[in-house]
Chains A and B, each alone.
Chain A
């Protein structure tokens, strides 16, 4: 498997996330990274030109960073590649660079608008749409996992946003160590504590974001919510929303409820939960 890593408008965060992959050296033996701009010895422009001049097909194009709408080179590379993988929220939806510039987008989207650089009907040589690994940055296991699947001939099943279901079918909320506090509606009253759920007062998007951060831990050891920081929903098209640390409420009820929960159900359940909260969960939450 020949893999070409391309960088566009990026902070290089996905590259450094990827370098944290625990078995990187073994992975590099199984898939061949033919080019990476931060690591290889040639400048990127030269490497891209060479590849395009030879018109040689290769297996996987990874794109990190948002793209300009008139980026012909990226477009041509996408046509040559067996599979195209957008790594990180910028390459998927445009993210921060797109907020600052109307001419910038992701490969398949500009925020939730379909199209992006490649147009709606894009299929790579291998017959898949862009494989989107959203996240700011994407988790190393999601990147390595996708490369490994493709190299073993497994075509990942994609969700409605083109993301591998393997990594994006559960919520950040799953596996969060604060889940019991959520269930019993014990809300963190302040930051800096292991106790209490961050949903009510601190804008936690855990119940509204598809990501496996709490089941496939970051750096093998932790996650935002475990470290007391709210999930900011960095795998979704609307990252970064405004007011990231606050939960909008109407009449004391969060303006947005966990995916799939009705307002009535939420009010009833939280009333009951609050009434019967086990003593051990109360206290200095």
Chain B
């Protein structure tokens, strides 16, 4: 056990990425691996898990109380950070990254460090694409939008099926809505390539350090916060992944 008190950081910059997503930069750089996350303390509100989208930043989508409070802060305000936590991605060979929505956050550091050859970025509509310029510089970028306002008209899996030879990649790093990740895992399974996939999972997190059990996966009891958040496809192919998750009290919720 060691001192894990939240480090209080001051917000330096608040960058609007899309109508509902903002990147928050603080005055301290954390020593984190791509894919690791932190617990973000919004004083007086709550503490929630967020991937690092850079050493000194997180990228937040407004979905509820804590995330709305976070994105309404301004430079000079303070928040607390615990972490980095979790395992991060461990890419080998030629890397394909696939992101849906704000799922791009933990994949961004991987692309920035030059580890990603090809990147598929998906969003509902053109205005909701995040970090497309940076990704276009660093990778062979393919875009998909649900409404066809940019790139491929449809889901990221459509790009995968029509524009990419998935078998030519050694590692496929994925983060986004669970059903999107599940359909990519299914495609890997068809070719017996589950172990090449690395999926960054979301589960309800309270402690972030592997003791409370709120993020445990069935049927092996893997902890998303400590054994993950990144799992290889074969670790989760016969798990609850894509079927259900749990809420704050541990009740099952269908995905």
**A and B assemble together:** no
